[in-house]
Structure 1
């Protein structure tokens, strides 16, 4: 393996996103995406939208908070998103792990997520492996499915 290949491989290890937008895969170098927001707090009760309830698409605008579950040991992660016209405008991921190793992985995941999902249509987001996490994205995707169900009712 050449030195350049090793550098590229090293740079890409741990981060991949499966996000189809109009049949094309999104890249992380898309300069049209807005900068990642600061992590926010103050979400309404889990599963409850807060703020506006108008919408230009199938989902009601507002802020939604859900826990997503993954794995066989009852692992979970908290996810809050703000939707405007079906687009994720803010995201906040809250680690729930108590084990030091798992907590570290969830924190790295939480730090990486905003640049991957903010500015994307919620229906086009399906995270795979992010920041060395292969299981935590499943919890994030589970929370997004719950959020979509809540925002469409």
Structure 2
């Protein structure tokens, strides 16, 4: 799952200064960095193998610019994909408040905070930008959470949040 509860609800401090629970969300990566290196090594090998037959001829120099262009473009597009996926959301629950921090791919941070008693979790099966759109509402503002998750993961996230918010509020 591309999200995890870093701090669970049973480990509640008595003074209420530390968060009761913390949830980290991030986009799914189908190709991790180690896979990226392996993919490029294998692709380079498969491209270089047929070039062995044309070493020493003018054909090699005709093909080489296109091969370099394709490999450079593939490198750039995969790096861009990694940069676009550098989104992380952190939801922190205290007995008296809830805080959402979102860092987008450009490094800009967006925050939302409200009293945990007034926070409401909503699931929109249709009508949102994505199916099973999950939002948090409070302080006269509605914010999305986990829009980059899959449909099933958003459903599961919604059910976990519906249970976690009241449990965190009762820990006071």
Same fold (TM over 0.5): no
User: RCO (CA 8 Å, sep 6+): is it higher in 1 or 2?
Assistant: 1
| Higher gyration radius (CA) | 2
TM-score by length of 1: 0.33
TM-score by length of 2: 0.30
